[in-house]
Structures are given as structure tokens and as C-alpha cells.
Amino acid sequence: MMLGLSLHAVTVLHVVISLIGIVTGLVVLYGLFKSQSMPGMTAIFLLTTILTNATGFMFPFEKLLPSHIIAILSLVLLAIACFALYGQMLSGAWRPIYVITAVTSLYLNVFVLVIQSFLKIGPLHELAPSVPPSEPPFAVTQGVVLVLFVIAIIASVRRFRPA
């Protein structure tokens, strides 16, 4: 039990928060393309993404895992994004810093979603049965996701000019 919750309850909570973070993050990303700041949606995205990473540490573990490294990296990026947005009000260089750190945090969540999808969804797991997945279909999927996010970051930095 963690915080009075069963492992199953923590898992469900973590997954729900993660999916909310990814969906709201994609909406915020769309807003960046349109140069719309979307303060409410952005706050939900940042909060749920922070909670996603924090709840990842609620699972039992004996040693530092790759998932923990990703969570720590994401939390650092999110701290910078929050400081750029709320502390520096996106002034000067803080605008592209915010975009890069926020969208990279979203990418890391999607990166983990792809891994979990290949581990937990039967047809995908059949394409890449190793744990962690490493077969070509998995690598191609992660490569496509990475390229799309690199393009998204470049486009967002160029287009996002909030009033």
C-alpha cells in the first residue's frame, strides 16, 4: 500500500493522470502552433505532467530504473518551463525556453506511452515481444514520434508569440 492505496489503485491513478497530461499537452501544443497561450489548459497540462512523474515514484522499486531517470529529467524540464512561464512571464529568451522544455516534457510522456503500449497491448507486444521492446517496429515508432516532436518544437518556437 502506498498512501493508503493499493498497487492497482496507484496504477490506475498514474495512468489516468498520464493520459490527461498527454491529451492536455497535445491541446497546448496545438495552441502553441496557433500562438494561443491557453492559460487554464496549460496549467492542467503542467500539473498533470508533474503528477505523472511524481506518481511514477510511488511504485515499489529496489534500484534506480530508466523510468526514474526519464521522470527526473522531465521534472527538471517542467520546473524550468514553470519558471519561464510563471516566473519570467515568457519574456525574452524565456519564451523559447518555455516552449522547448514544455514540449520536450510532453514528448517524454509520449515516449513512455509508446513503450507501455508495446508492453501492454497484445498486437503491439507481438510485434516487439522483448522487455523492454527493442525490435524494429518499436524503434521505427519511437523514431517517428521523435521526428514529429522535433518538428513540433521547431514550429512552436517559430510560431508561438503570445500577446
Q: Does residue 25 lie in a domain region? A: yes
Position 37 in a domain: yes
Cα angle: 31, vertex 32, 37; to 5 degrees: 70
The domain of 122 spans 7-159
The pLDDT assigned to 2 comes to: 64
Residue 80, in any domain of the structure: yes
Average pLDDT over the chain, rounded to an integer: 95
- The verdict on residue 73 lying in a domain is yes
pLDDT of 4 over the 90 cut: no
Segment 71-98 shows an average pLDDT of 98
Return the pLDDT at 1. Answer: 55
Residue-level pLDDT at 5? 84
Give the pLDDT confidence score for residue 163 in this predicted structure.
Answer: 77
Q: What angle is formed at CA 21 by the lines to CA 90 and CA 94, rounded to 5 degrees? A: 10
**What pTM value is reported for the model?**
0.95
User: Number of folded domains in the chain?
Assistant: 1
56 domain residue, yes or no: yes
Mean pLDDT within 38-63 = 95
Q: Is residue 1 part of a domain?
A: no
pLDDT 10s digits, 100-133 = 999 999 999 999 999 999 999 999 999 999 999 9
Q: Are 16 and 52 a contacting pair, CB within 8 Å?
A: no
Domain-embedded: residue 2: no
